């Protein structure tokens, strides 16, 4: 059964907007990235999603394909973004089966709550490797195709008229807002996401002249996601929601709409930017992980370890 459209994309965009376009997405089986891809597929794109878990990735691809009759969506599992070779094979298969790559979403990420005391050097490295090296590998493996697509979809500098064939040569890095102010128990992620942001800015400068745009989407607290489940103490959901400037979490549709904006003609002159989709959440001085039973600074001063959060495992210091 296809998901209702309003769950993952607004009615703002016209059907067929991304006909004949191909999107390649890492972490595409995740809650946020699958909504981004589902929106693009609904609007006409073909897609290739990759992930570490074979079953989860293949099932997610089949499910995303229900967004539009006749849609082509490939799910390739056993791909670890930390390994360039496995990504390269997936990119080659995507190009072979779908004909090229016009859009890339670098979405694979690793996260868990841990204080510096609980974070071994290897745990720190794992997240840096998944987020920073993984984004770089994604870029390296897809760049030749992005450049090719960028060339085809270039806007004439004299006429500034949109290209009839639509858009291409665009990459989005999915980042975060955690590192803007910094958050306890998120050192590894803050450092990693700062690196991802710097990478995107460099791509915009180095590959803009070749017709490629590079931007960041920085989601805030998005309801129903693995990230929020992992990061927000469950004893604190109601008061946290109430403390948000818009009084609610974001939805995956909010992130998908931002993605469509950046990949469509609307985003043609937007590059080297960060689109923060967080309802002004990060501008609040309090909140995030260090709240409820982990309230700052009392929890840190107690000397306790961050207790079991979903998906957590104990680490050597
Ligand atoms: N607190 C402290 N350390 C932790 C931890 C936690 N909650 N979870 C994992 N680690 C440590 C491990 O102990 C290990 O360090 P060690 O060798 O010193 O013991 C290190 O991190 C690597 O763990 P491992 O499970 O072998 O790594 P992995 O590469 O298989 O997994 C993670 C990567 C750790 C990021 C894992 O959480 C993951 O796979 N996440 C993917 C999904 C995800 O995070 N999505 C985020 C959505 S926001």
Residue 179 and residue 198 in contact, taking contact as beta carbons nearer than 8 Å? no
Query: Of 193, 200, 214, 251, which residue is the catalytic one?
Result: 193
Residue 112 and residue 309 in contact, taking contact as beta carbons nearer than 8 Å? yes
Q: Is 302 in the active site?
A: no
Q: Whose CA is nearest to atom 39 of ligand 1?
A: 110
Whole-number pLDDT of residue 296? 83
Range name among 23-27, 51-55, 142-146, 222-226 with the lowest pLDDT average = 222-226
197: nearest Cα among 179, 177, 175:
175
What does the pLDDT look like over 158-187, one tens digit per residue? 999 999 999 999 999 999 999 999 889 999
Q: Whose CA is nearest to atom 1 of ligand 1?
A: 114
259: nearest Cα among 151, 138, 130, 107:
107
What pLDDT band is residue 155 in, cutting at 50, 70 and 90? very high
The reply to whether ligand 1 has any atom less than 6 angstroms from the CB of 158 is no
202: nearest Cα among 191, 220, 215:
215
pTM for this entry: 0.93
Q: What are phi and psi of 46, to 5 degrees?
A: -100, 160
The reply to whether ligand 1 has any atom less than 6 angstroms from the CB of 118 is yes
Kindly give the distance from the C-alpha atom of residue 308 to the centroid of ligand 1, in angstroms, as a whole number.
13
Q: Is 175 in the active site?
A: yes
Q: Whose CA is nearest to atom 41 of ligand 1?
A: 110
Q: What are phi and psi of 314, to 5 degrees?
A: -75, 145
Strand partners, 104: 24, 171
What does the pLDDT look like over 53-94, one tens digit per residue? 999 999 999 999 999 999 999 999 999 999 999 999 999 999
Query: Which ligand 1 atom is the nearest neighbour of the CA of 110?
Result: 44
Domains and CATH numbers, the chain: 18-302 (3.40.50.720)
Query: Which ligand 1 atom is the nearest neighbour of the CA of 121?
Result: 18
The reply to whether ligand 1 has any atom less than 6 angstroms from the CB of 316 is yes
Q: Whose CA is nearest to atom 21 of ligand 1?
A: 123
Query: Of 46, 126, 175, 200, which residue is the catalytic one?
Result: 175
Kindly give the distance from the C-alpha atom of residue 251 to the centroid of ligand 1, in angstroms, as a whole number.
26
**Distance of alpha carbon 298 from alpha carbon 293, whole angstroms:** 9
Angle, CA of 123, 127 and 129, to the nearest 5°? 110
The reply to whether ligand 1 has any atom less than 6 angstroms from the CB of 221 is no
The reply to whether ligand 1 has any atom less than 6 angstroms from the CB of 2 is no
Proportion of the chain above pLDDT 70, given as a percent:
95
């Amino acid at each position: 059964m296809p998901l209702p459209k309003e769950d993952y994309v607004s009615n703002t965009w016209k059907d067929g907007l991304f006909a004949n376009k191909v999107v390649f997405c890492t972490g595409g089986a995740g809650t946020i990235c699958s909504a981004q891809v589902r929106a693009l597929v609904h609007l006409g794109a073909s897609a290739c999603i990759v992930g570490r878990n074979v079953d989860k990735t293949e099932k997610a691809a089949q499910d995303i394909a229900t967004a539009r009759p006749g849609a082509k969506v490939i799910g390739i599992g056993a791909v670890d973004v930390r390994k360039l070779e496995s990504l390269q094979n997936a990119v080659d298969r995507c190009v072979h089966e779908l004909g090229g790559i016009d859009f890339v979403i670098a979405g694979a990420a690793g996260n868990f709550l841990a204080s510096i005391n609980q974070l071994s050097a290897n745990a720190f490295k794992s997240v840096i490797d998944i987020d920073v090296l993984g984004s770089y590998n994604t870029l390296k493996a897809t760049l030749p195709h992005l450049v090719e697509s960028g060339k085809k979809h270039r806007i004439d500098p004299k006429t500034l008229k949109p290209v009839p064939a639509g858009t291409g040569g665009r990459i989005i890095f999915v980042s975060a807002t955690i590192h803007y102010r910094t958050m306890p128990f998120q050192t590894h992620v803050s450092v990693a996401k700062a690196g991802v942001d710097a990478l995107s800015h460099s791509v915009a400068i180095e590959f803009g002249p070749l017709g490629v745009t590079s931007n960041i989407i920085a989601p805030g607290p998005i309801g129903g996601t693995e990230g929020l489940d992992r990061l927000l103490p469950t004893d604190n959901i109601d008061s946290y929601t109430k403390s948000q400037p818009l009084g609610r979490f974001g939805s995956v549709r909010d992130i998908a709409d931002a993605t469509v904006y950046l990949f469509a003609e609307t985003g043609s002159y937007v590059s080297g930017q960060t689109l923060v989709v967080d309802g002004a959440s990060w501008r609040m001085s309090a909140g995030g992980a260090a709240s409820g039973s982990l309230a700052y600074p009392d929890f840190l001063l107690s000397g306790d370890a961050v207790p079991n959060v979903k998906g957590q495992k104990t680490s050597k210091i």
